[in-house]
Amino acid sequence: MSSSTYLMWFRSDLRISDNTALYEACNNGQVIAVYLLFPEQWQQHDDSPNKIKFQLAQLEDLKQALNELNIPLLIKKFHHFNEAAEFLLSTAKQYQCSGLFFNEEYGVNEINRDRQVHQAFHQAQLTCQSFTDQLLFTPGTIKNQSGNFYKVFTQFKRKLYEKLSVVNRLPLPTPAKQKKLNIKLTQDSLALDYCNKAITKLFDHWPIGETTAQQRLQLFINDKIVAYQENRDFPAQPATSQLSPYLTAGIISIRQCLHVARSANLGEFASGKSGITCWINELIWREFYKHILVGFPQVSKHQPFLAETQLIPWSNDSDLLKAWQQGKTGFPIVDAAMRQLVATGWMHNRLRMIVAMFLTKDLMLDWRLGEKFFMQHLVDGDLAANNGGWQWSASTGTDAAPYFRIFNPTNQSKKFDPQGQFIKQFVPELQQVPIKYIHQPQDYLQQNQLHNTYPIPIVDHSQARERVLSAFKQLKEAK
């Protein structure tokens, strides 16, 4: 085999277009692709069967796409991240490769694993190159004047926009077809029991494939992005891109999303059509939370971003938790949202905020319980965004607003699901309830002898609000 053969290690970048490491590896020589599975870690990391099944199906799709480029894909199963370095090195030696290429990942465990891989290749005097691909900018390159990571989104965004006006990396093309390699690779099976626990209609909701993701993006840009700002908060309307599972798995790249959005806005990202700038703003939230993950690694270990909030006396009440998880809280909007999560593996962003705020502020349950349950169901489960969203809602995180931002779930329901359309879609027992009562149906149900069909509220919002405010106030006073 020629000395210029390289391993390309796929991870959360399951695509061939605009894949930085793949593109660079192909520019350097012949490529053999590798994917490593760590099934025992899925449960430990709370990765949902929905996410795993979706990503493994995508892996099959990727294999076909690579096949058309004459790039063979080797898939191997392991117990622990620690085994990665030794295997990759021995594989590189077995196929006389000159080195390894991969794109960076940002969780603490992933960073440690990749450090070991770099060291092993360095010691063996083989090339090992990793690239910023998941993000627009490498964490650590957007810092404040004191050289620290930003803690506040708006300041981070301002700095990012400054950089973006100077550096605009366009998406890379798909690599050219390579010469066929004369090797046979044995591949471990992808038939895994864990995936049997995924929802049955997973692929109806979330069809796999790079082409699907590109089409989703294009449809969103053509039909919805201009009205995104007005419509994005109404869960009954399919007004958002629903690209999150594809971004999490790397089936589409952040540069592809940004590029298409900017092109629809005459190249602008911070001004122009408000729907487009609003959507780009959301892409930057994704970027922000990944920078937070690197700058404040305690959040990777599920510690609060604001250390002092460690002392908040969160509850672990299992009955309350169960009612929330099962969508039986007696608050229709919360219940509909939780049932959407369990039925589809996804939840609308406004609802994620409502149910997270409800769990932490109304029930005063530990935000980590909610974070975990989300990861166990989400098809787009992403440590940085999920942790960031939960800590924002619990007021333990980067929210610039003070802790007394507390949503009233009934008012949120009236505002963002005024006709109760979304509620009725996921809470069929409220199907016949008139709009007037849909946000608080208990009186109507009682009057019509239907009170056994739907729970009474498990908490009094006003009392709960006072309780949580007092807990935060005490914390402030103790400081």
Chain residues binding ligand FAD by CB under 6 A are 232, 240-244, 247-248, 282-283, 285-286, 289, 349, 352-353, 356, 374, 378, 380-382, 385-386, 388-390, 393
Least Cβ distance, residue 59 to ligand FAD (angstroms): 19
The response to whether 380 counts as a known ligand-binding position is yes
The response to whether 244 counts as a known ligand-binding position is yes
Token pair 């053999």 is at which residue?
32
Residue 389 or 409 with smaller CB distance to ligand FAD? 389
The response to whether 339 counts as a known ligand-binding position is no
9, 206, 314, 392: which is the annotated catalytic residue?
314
Residue 89 or 356 with smaller CB distance to ligand FAD? 356
Least Cβ distance, residue 108 to ligand FAD (angstroms): 17
Whole-Å CA distances, 11 to 14, 48, 158: 7, 17, 30
Give the whole-angstrom CA distance, residue 51 versus residue 57: 10
Token pair 């914390």 is at which residue?
475
Alpha helix (H) residue ranges in 250-366: 254-263, 274-295, 318-326, 332-344, 349-357
Least Cβ distance, residue 214 to ligand FAD (angstroms): 14
- Residue 57: which residues within 8 A CB-CB, separation 6 or more? 203, 208
206, 324, 346, 367: which is the annotated catalytic residue?
367
Nearest to 259 by CA among 19, 20, 18: 18
The response to whether 319 counts as a known ligand-binding position is no
83-94 vs 108-123: helix axis angle to the nearest 10? 40
332-344 vs 349-357: helix axis angle to the nearest 10? 120
Exposure class string for 373-402: b at 16+ Cβ within 10 A, else e: bbbbbbbbbbbbbbbbbbbbbbbbbbbeee
Copy the structure tokens of residue 431.
Answer: 């199907």
Long-range (24+ apart) CB contacts under 8 A made by 94-97 are 95/1, 95/5, 95/7, 95/32, 95/183, 96/1, 96/3, 96/5, 97/5, 97/6, 97/7, 97/32, 97/126
H/E stretch holding 410: helix 409-416
- 390 as an active site residue: the answer is yes
- 42 as an active site residue: the answer is no
The response to whether 466 counts as a known ligand-binding position is no
Residue 31 or 251 with smaller CB distance to ligand FAD? 251
- 86 as an active site residue: the answer is no
Residue 106 or 390 with smaller CB distance to ligand FAD? 390
Give residue 32's identity as a one-letter amino acid code. Answer: I
Residue 283 or 333 with smaller CB distance to ligand FAD? 283
The response to whether 105 counts as a known ligand-binding position is no
Least Cβ distance, residue 444 to ligand FAD (angstroms): 30
CB 70 within 8 A of CB 181: yes
The response to whether 285 counts as a known ligand-binding position is yes
Least Cβ distance, residue 103 to ligand FAD (angstroms): 16
Least Cβ distance, residue 161 to ligand FAD (angstroms): 16
- 367 as an active site residue: the answer is yes
- 314 as an active site residue: the answer is yes
The response to whether 263 counts as a known ligand-binding position is no
CB 52 within 8 A of CB 245: no
The response to whether 329 counts as a known ligand-binding position is no
CB 407 within 8 A of CB 353: yes
Least Cβ distance, residue 381 to ligand FAD (angstroms): 5
Give the whole-angstrom CA distance, residue 276 versus residue 224: 10
- For ligand FAD, the nearest residue by Cβ is 389
- 324 as an active site residue: the answer is no
- Residue 215: which residues within 8 A CB-CB, separation 6 or more? none
The catalytic site residues sit at 282, 285, 314, 349, 367, 390
Binding site for FAD: residue ranges? Answer: 228, 240-244, 279, 282-289, 380-382
Binding site: residue ranges? Answer: 228, 240-244, 279, 282-289, 380-382
